[in-house]
Structure 1
Amino acid sequence: MERLRLIVPVYNDWTSFNILLRELDEVAGTLPVRMLISAIDDGSTQYPEELSNVAQLRNLEAVEIIHLYSNVGHQRAIAIGLATVAEDDDFDAVLVMDADGEDSPQAIGRLLEMAGNRRDFCVVAQRRRRSENLTFRLSYVVYKCAFRLLTGRQIAFGNFSLFSRSYVRRLVRVSDLWNNLPAAVLRSRLPIQALPVDRARRYAGQSKMNLTSLVVHGFSSISVYAETIFVRLLFLTLVLASISGVSITIVLSLRLFFPRFATPGWATTVSFGMVILLVQVLSVTLSSILMLLNSRVQRLIVPLADYKCFVDYRQQILSPVKERFAVLEPTLQPLKERLA
């Protein structure tokens, strides 16, 4: 591996991104790879002046900002970034990380070490310790339990992950990537290697992931397994239908054959209650079937095919080394002629 491309989504958090660039520059000097940074500007409305100091970076190969027309959300910004760089040939692997500092740059070396010299790899950072408040951590536990219950799969990693070039080009052709990167990785059945990593603290500002964002994020990831959830819902419907049928049979039997043990009106109440429960479950199941079948005939968004309509322009704020030398070449030409 020679060139590592970093995908970093940013939304009005350029102060943290500037700190991240300085830390990445320090880390890049200790790693045996050349690092290229692609920041995905997710429709930001604030642009500080600190980015003008990017020329002071010494170890990074290049830094660019991919500006989007509007805010599309964290996960979709990552999908657009992956699709954008997937068409380039100047990388051997891609690392996805957040710009706020919670994904520690010091862990990049460990991720690269786990990838080793393999041609294809998928290394994810498995969260070991989090720095958020207690409410958020409890909500995240509920989200993971709900994901496990509804999909039958365990999700214990986020966006901080490392992919080989071939795996990136496979992911950007998967429509599930548009909703959620971790769930798309699981759904793609890539051979995952997990590295335990502690979540660091933010560089500056407040996290934009609140309880509402977490709920939306959770449903987005769960929606990737819509077909699995439908099958589980169908089995649940059959179980409840069986329970309702048995309960109604027992109630009618008691009412007809053992009337002296029955309270007047109770059989009708229980029977109608079970019938209402059964009708509601069947209605939900039928609605789910219709929505699932309808979604199968709709055109899905494939990141590689659809990302261009979201990209405004690409801004190179730190050119690759070879381009910097190409700029200096005309200035050096007279000196070469005199020396000749």
Structure 2
Amino acid sequence: MEELAIVVPVYNEQEMIELFVREVNKKTENLEIKKIFYFVNDGSSDQTLPLLKKLARQNDNINYISFSRNFGKEAALLAGLQATKESLITVMDVDLQDPPELLVPMYHKLKEGYDAVGARRISRKGEALIVSLFSNLFYKIINKVSTTPIVEGARDFRLMTRQVVDSILELRESNRFSKGLFSWVGYEVIYLEYENHERSAGQTSWSFRQLLSYSIDGIINFSETPLNIATFVGFISFLASVLLSIFYLLKTLIFGDPVQGFPTLIVLILLLGGLQLLSLGIIGKYIAKIFLETKRRPNYIIKESNIKELD
């Protein structure tokens, strides 16, 4: 029987894990595949780990990996994918915002010859207005500045063949942005649309600040445009200062109308200083990414696992 690996990052999700397993099994009971769960505990401080251990003892198709601390969702996704060996792999959020019933049409689409089948939200009902606005803005910006297209509303939730996952795992960068990596590797991909699903229980661990930072990292990881903008801003500032200098010089020599120096000086200092700080900030962000990559630190540290190859 064909096997499906289900990779699920979890962080303080004690209320959702059992419900998630029940819903996945219920909504996919007609699929003739064996489901293998890979839960990755990302440094939870609640009862997530004890619950995973209990479920693993009771079910031979439930595996868990537990980190030594919180390393973030990207590290958890990577650890889960690296642990799998099945021919089909899916990545899902435990909060059931990734509807398990979509796995059925995803599986059938994969059998039609696609290499991966993704899920795409076509609405954001129930989501905070500011989050929706910035999410839409993010997709517009990144698809303008990046050569790697990212489908608007696309989730990490997707069903992939072993070949696609192996290609993703060949990308060894430390600063990972899975949506971009999934798109960068290519292959034949189709997206299934669905309406937004709210969390079934518990609270999200993602704050607006974290989402904003994650979006900025995504743009930087897949585009050099911010660096080009910094260069362009620097050139325009230099050109403007030269033109203004010529203008004020001619105005003084020809028309005998000297410009008051102090206000002009303050304005120019603030303008050029602000532009320089903006450019340095953009360049500094890229240098920080390079610095992190050169350290070659592991993406995560596994404290314990019931997978013998990893423990």
TM-score interval, normalised by the smaller of the two chains: 0.7 to 0.9
Task: Tell me the matched-pair count.
Answer: 302
Q: 1:168: how far off?
A: 1.3
Q: Secondary structure at the match of 1:45?
A: coil
Q: Deviations over 1:169-228 (max 9, x none)?
A: 221232457432112234445554322222212121112222122122222322313634
CA radius of gyration, larger in = 1
2:305 equivalent in structure 1: 314
Asked if 2 retains the 8 angstrom alpha-carbon contact of 1:76 and 1:178, the reply is no
Long gaps (5+) in structure 2: none
Normalising by structure 1, we get a TM-score of 0.74
Please tell me whether residue 125 in structure 1 is matched to residue 122 in structure 2. no
Instruction: State the one-letter code of the partner of 1:205.
Output: G
1:277 equivalent in structure 2: 271
Q: Secondary structure at the match of 2:30?
A: coil
1:242 equivalent in structure 2: 239
Please tell me whether residue 12 in structure 1 is matched to residue 3 in structure 2. no
Instruction: Decide which moves more: 236-245 or 107-116.
Output: 236-245
Please tell me whether residue 252 in structure 1 is matched to residue 246 in structure 2. no
Instruction: Decide which moves more: 181-190 or 214-223.
Output: 181-190
Q: Secondary structure at the match of 1:193?
A: strand
2:80 equivalent in structure 1: 81
2:222 equivalent in structure 1: 225
Please tell me whether residue 134 in structure 1 is matched to residue 107 in structure 2. no
- Cα pair distance change 1:140/1:56, threshold 3 Å: same
**Whole-angstrom CA distance in 2 between matches of 1:53 and 1:314:** 13
Q: Secondary structure at the match of 1:313?
A: strand
- Cα pair distance change 1:226/1:132, threshold 3 Å: same
Asked if 2 retains the 8 angstrom alpha-carbon contact of 1:175 and 1:301, the reply is no
- Cα pair distance change 1:246/1:12, threshold 3 Å: same
Q: 1:39: how far off?
A: 0.6
Asked if 2 retains the 8 angstrom alpha-carbon contact of 1:40 and 1:81, the reply is yes
Q: 1:96 aligns with which of 82, 91, 97?
A: 91
2:194 equivalent in structure 1: 197
Asked if 2 retains the 8 angstrom alpha-carbon contact of 1:147 and 1:155, the reply is no
Q: 1:245: how far off?
A: 3.2
Q: Secondary structure at the match of 2:306?
A: strand
Instruction: State the one-letter code of the partner of 1:3.
Output: E
Instruction: State the one-letter code of the partner of 1:163.
Output: M
Q: 1:7: how far off?
A: 0.6
Q: Deviations over 1:115-157 (max 9, x none)?
A: 3343x62332122122323233233234334544654755522
Q: 1:163: how far off?
A: 2.3
Asked if 2 retains the 8 angstrom alpha-carbon contact of 1:184 and 1:224, the reply is no
Instruction: State the one-letter code of the partner of 2:93.
Output: D
Please tell me whether residue 208 in structure 1 is matched to residue 205 in structure 2. yes
Q: Secondary structure at the match of 1:95?
A: strand
- Cα pair distance change 1:250/1:184, threshold 3 Å: farther
2:36 equivalent in structure 1: 36
Q: 1:113 aligns with which of 108, 112, 123?
A: 108
- Cα pair distance change 1:73/1:50, threshold 3 Å: closer
Asked if 2 retains the 8 angstrom alpha-carbon contact of 1:177 and 1:184, the reply is no
Asked if 1 retains the 8 angstrom alpha-carbon contact of 2:8 and 2:37, the reply is yes
Asked if 2 retains the 8 angstrom alpha-carbon contact of 1:79 and 1:177, the reply is no
1:67 equivalent in structure 2: 66
Asked if 1 retains the 8 angstrom alpha-carbon contact of 2:174 and 2:293, the reply is no
Q: Deviations over 1:82-124 (max 9, x none)?
A: 2232xx3xx1121111001111101112222333343x62332
**Whole-angstrom CA distance in 2 between matches of 1:125 and 1:248:** 56
Please tell me whether residue 167 in structure 1 is matched to residue 172 in structure 2. no
How large is the Cα RMSD of the aligned pairs?
3.4
Asked if 1 retains the 8 angstrom alpha-carbon contact of 2:4 and 2:36, the reply is yes
The structure where helix makes up a greater share of residues is 1
Instruction: State the one-letter code of the partner of 1:68.
Output: F
